[in-house]
């Protein structure tokens, strides 16, 4: 039978081995835990030093916060041109945009507007215009008086084909249009002077003439024969002759720098 002493020795040895294994396992587990903790804390530190994605500032080298650049503003949308050049005919004599000059006759040549009305303004000869033009003229004369203390008058408005025949005569007057080629015959053209008696050339340097050059477009009127466009219109400069074309077109021409219907509608040449 085994000696009891040997049995005790073997039992003690087994216990020592078990303790050694337990110590080794504990050390191993502690090492793994240290690695994991280091990885976690290191990752947090690294994440903390990265560039913020949702903050308003970024740490600088000196530790102060540097404001982030504001995002660039989006470009303004391109302007859309809504002006319709085909809104009215350039050939129909009843159109407020009809273009008539030495080369472009009315059709029919003896055209008579069907909506002529007497214009209730100061005048030399009883003026008539088409209804729309008459209303605009009255508003313009009232504005000149109320805004600037200037008092305008009509010198000549609608003239019929037959009247133009008599005025034209032998054609020696370069300011007089041939019959059938006159803006006065459209019921949209008017010669404007002052209640004080200024009629034609004096309008060039008068306060009334200057006011009209600055403001007539607001009411739909155009200075029809500018001094620098004789070769375009075919007529000498007339500081007194205005033509109703409607506020939309008059304003558009003002904005774009065009001073003649021929150039705006590309009818030159």
Catalytic sites, residue numbers: 238
Whats the size of the chain, residue-wise? Answer: 269
Rounded CA gap, 235 and 189, in Å?
14
Q: 150, 211 in Cβ contact below 8 A?
A: yes
Element (H, E) at 222: strand 221-225
Q: 229, 192 in Cβ contact below 8 A?
A: no
CA 267 to chain centre: 25
Q: What angle do CA 220, 224, 225 make, to 5 degrees?
A: 160
């Amino acid at each position: 039978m085994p000696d009891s002493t040997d049995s005790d020795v073997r039992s003690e040895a087994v216990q020592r081995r078990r303790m050694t294994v337990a110590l080794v396992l504990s050390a191993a587990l502690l090492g793994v835990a240290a690695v994991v903790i280091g990885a976690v804390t290191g990752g947090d530190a690294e994440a903390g030093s990265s560039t913020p994605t949702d903050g308003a500032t970024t740490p600088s080298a000196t530790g102060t916060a540097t404001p982030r650049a504001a995002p660039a503003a989006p470009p303004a949308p391109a302007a859309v041109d809504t002006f319709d050049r085909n809104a009215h005919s350039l050939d129909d004599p009843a159109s407020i945009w009809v273009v008539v000059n030495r080369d472009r006759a009315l059709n029919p040549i003896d055209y008579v507007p069907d909506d002529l009305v007497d214009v209730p303004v100061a005048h030399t000869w009883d003026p008539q215009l088409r209804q729309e033009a008459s209303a605009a003229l009255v508003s313009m004369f009232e504005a000149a008086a109320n805004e600037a203390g200037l008092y305008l008058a009509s010198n000549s408005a609608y003239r019929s084909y037959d009247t133009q025949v008599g005025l034209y005569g032998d054609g020696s007057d370069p300011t007089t249009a041939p019959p059938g080629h006159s803006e006065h015959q459209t019921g949209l053209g008017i010669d404007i002077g002052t209640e004080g008696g200024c009629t034609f050339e004096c309008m060039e340097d008068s306060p009334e003439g200057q006011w009209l050059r600055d403001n007539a477009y607001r009411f739909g009127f155009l200075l029809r024969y500018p001094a620098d466009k004789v070769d375009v219109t075919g007529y000498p400069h007339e500081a007194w002759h205005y033509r109703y074309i409607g506020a939309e077109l008059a304003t558009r021409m003002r904005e774009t720098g065009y001073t003649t219907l021929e150039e705006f509608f590309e009818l030159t040449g």
